[in-house]
C-alpha cells in the first residue's frame, strides 16, 4: 500500500460514525474508508445494480396497450 494521502472534509456526525464503526470492527478510520470506497467503486453489471427493482412495477390488470402488455410479460412477479 502506498502512503498517498487523501484529505476529505466531513461534518462531525459523519466523522463520529466512521470512528464508531472503525472501533467496532477493530480497524482504523482509514481502513474503513478504504473499504467503503472500494465497495462503492466496484464495477457491477446493470442487472446486479438494479435487481432490487425487478418485479416492482404494478400495472392495471386490464389493458390493451402493447407496451403495458410487454412490460407485464417481463415482470416476473405475479
Residue-wise pLDDT tens digits, 11-45 = 999 999 999 999 999 999 999 999 999 988 988 88
Residue 21 contacts residue 32 (beta carbons within 8 Å):
yes
Q: For residue 75, how far is the Cα from the chain centroid? A: 22
**How many domains is the chain partitioned into structurally?**
1
Longest CA–CA span in the chain (Å) reads 63
**pLDDT score, position 61:** 67
Residue 52 phi, psi dihedral angles, 5° rounding: -70, -15
Does residue 26 belong to any structural domain of this protein? yes
Task: With respect to residue 30, please indicate whether it lies within any of the assigned structural domains.
Answer: yes
In-domain check, residue 62: no
Whether residue 64 lies inside any domain: the answer is no
Q: Model-level pTM? A: 0.57
User: Please, are residues 59 and 68 in contact by the beta-carbon 8 Å criterion?
Assistant: yes
Q: What is the pLDDT of residue 5?
A: 87
Domain membership of residue 30 as a residue range: 10-43
Amino acid at each position: 500500500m502506498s502512503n498517498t494521502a487523501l484529505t476529505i472534509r466531513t461534518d462531525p456526525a459523519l466523522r463520529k460514525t466512521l470512528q464508531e464503526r472503525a472501533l467496532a470492527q477493530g480497524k482504523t478510520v482509514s481502513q474503513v474508508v478504504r473499504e467503503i470506497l472500494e465497495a462503492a467503486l466496484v464495477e457491477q453489471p446493470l442487472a446486479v445494480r438494479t435487481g432490487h427493482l425487478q418485479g416492482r412495477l404494478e400495472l392495471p390488470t386490464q389493458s390493451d396497450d402493447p407496451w403495458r402488455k410487454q412490460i407485464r410479460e417481463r415482470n416476473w412477479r405475479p
